[in-house]
Chain A
Amino acid sequence: MTEEDYIKKWLTDTLSEAEKEEFSQTEAYSSIQRMDRELQKFKAPAYDETLEFDRLRSRLRPAGRQVRVNWVPWLAGAAAAITLLVVSYFLFLVPEYSSYTTGIAGKRTIVLPDSSLVILAAKSELRLKEDSWDNDRFVELTGEALFQVARGSDFHVYTETGTVSVLGTEFNVRDRTGFYEVICYEGKVAVKSGGVTESLTPGRFFRAVNGDITTESSEYYNYPHLLTNESAFSSVPVREVIAEFERHYDVKVIPENIDLTVRFTGRFGHDNLDLAIQTISVPLGLQYRIINDERIILTGE
């Protein structure tokens, strides 16, 4: 038997007593023993089920109250039928929306019922109907989010400015005041906005700035910026870049002598204010002054 055979058999506990004895004398055995001992340091930290379940319990309520039909024999049948009617009225006629929101500098990951994933950017809201999800996959979005959609039926993202429809893919939607943009990273995405329908392939984006529609591709949009905690812009009006900066750093940026329609191309990170403001101001030839925690002045020539 080779050393490899010994180890394989030892791992599956299929060595005979004699073989075990022999193996325990080897160099390989003692080095594995040492490793096993050392590996214990990497044990997962302690986990308390009771504590964790208590933490979860408070979030269980809403679903727990759903359809609780008591199948008491026939006398109660009529009552049950009425209960059912009332329940289905609430289930099917009154839309039961779940809502997820983020504040300034916030970001959260949402797992949808079909295990599609959404990363919601700062100052945004996502609404969906979990009950009818199987028949109709759609979400309503205010702000920005990255979507990684599991394969399946049509998936729609509705925002005030447009509709994005896909089958299964990865894309980013931002809908901020006067600025709507859809970036496709994977698969194929259909966008409908302002009477225009466009089909996007990976690397391309759709944009409507105050009703002005363009479809282009940009190397700045070749990977999802929300995954790397950045905001990426490909020739976006400074006005929108500043607004985005404010959403991440909870400061007010006061522009002085700046043409807010000038286009900016680049990225800024979400974890270093100084670096981020430099990334914006230097390429545009602007000066900045940090007044305090709440105010930054950005000036032109």
Chain B
Amino acid sequence: MSTEEEADLCNEKRFEQLFNTVSRDLYRFIYHKFGTDSNPADLVQEAFLKLWQNCRKVTPEKARSFLFTVANNARLNQIARDKTAMKYAESDQRNVEIETPQFQMEHDEYSLQLKEALKSLSEDQRVTFMLNRVEGKKHQEIADMLGISRKAVEKRIYTALAILREKIKGF
């Protein structure tokens, strides 16, 4: 009856609701895994479009993992793997107090070093680590996104942190 129909993802309202709850996470996932060159917003669109075309076959419970799987498989889209490196995000300098040139320089050097270190992480390590430390996702949430255990998430975060600390030791 009607209740069942509303639960169906082919219902546009239901679909929009899903988009509003999942798309931002998916976007961040793609961004941290593949970088800006992957056009994360477009890949999100493609993944949802794919879901829409399969809305009768994919149950609402499976929708989330379906979306992440589709987006993840789109890695071929990454033309060359080394382009995966994330674009260096310009920080908002307006809120920063005036610093001495020496400090400023060290700071920039540190940023660069950190950026290089992030590039050296595997895609899986980086996406897990960044979703937690930067986007504030809980371990369990990340585990659900990636379809791995919470223990595995914790292990990846620790490993990533250890690698980063090792690479920026001098600072």
Query: Chain A: residues with CB nearer than 8 A to chain B?
Result: 4, 7-8, 11-12, 28, 31-32, 34-36, 38-45, 47, 49, 52-53, 55-56, 59-60, 63-64, 66-67, 71, 109, 111, 113, 115, 117, 119, 130, 148, 150, 227-229
Contact = CB atoms under 8 A, between A and B. Distances in A.
B76 A117 contact: yes
Interface residues of B, number: 62
B24 A49 contact: yes
Interface of chain B: mostly helix, strand, loop or mixed? helix
Given A41-B91, A44-B32, A59-B49, A53 B80 contact: no
Contacts of B5: 71
A28 B162 CA distance: 11
Given A42-B118, A44-B28, 19 more contacts: A4-B162, A11-B157, A42-B130, A42-B134, A43-B89, A44-B27, A45-B36, A47-B41, A49-B20, A52-B41, A60-B52, A64-B12, A64-B52, A66-B10, A111-B46, A111-B47, A115-B50, A117-B76, A119-B76
Contacts, number: 128
A259 B52 CA distance: 52
A213 to B, nearest CB: 30
Interface in B4-18: 5, 10, 12, 15-16
A216 to B, nearest CB: 26
B134 A38 contact: no
Contact of A52 (B32, B45, B79): B45
A47 B27 contact: yes
B93 to A, nearest CB: 11
B49 A71 contact: no
Interface string B54-83: 111000000000000110011011011000
A49 B23 contact: yes
Contact of B44 (A35, A41, A52): A52
Going nearest first, the 8 A-B pairs with the smallest beta carbon separation are A44-B31, A41-B91, A115-B73, A44-B28, A117-B76, A47-B27, A41-B89, A109-B77
B154 interface: yes
A83 to B, nearest CB: 15
A41 B115 CA distance: 10
25 contacts: A7-B162, A11-B154, A12-B139, A12-B154, A32-B165, A34-B171, A38-B114, A40-B91, A40-B134, A42-B115, A42-B118, A42-B134, A45-B31, A47-B23, A47-B28, A49-B23, A49-B24, A55-B45, A63-B52, A64-B12, A71-B1, A71-B2, A109-B76, A130-B53, A148-B76
B168 interface: yes
Contact of A60 (B12, B70, B110, B135): B12
Main secondary structure of the interface of A (DSSP, over half): helix
A53 B19 contact: yes
Contact of B134 (A43, A111, A228): A43
Nearest to A36: B133
A227 B77 CA distance: 8
Nearest to B165: A31
A64 B48 CA distance: 13
A265 to B, nearest CB: 23
A7 B74 contact: no
Contacts of A111: 46-47, 50, 70, 73-74
Nearest to B86: A42
Interface string B91-115: 1000000000000000000110011
Most chain B Cβ neighbours within 10 Å, of A4, A34, A35, A36: A35
B19 A49 contact: yes
A229 B24 contact: no
A29 B48 CA distance: 41
Contacts of A12: 139, 154
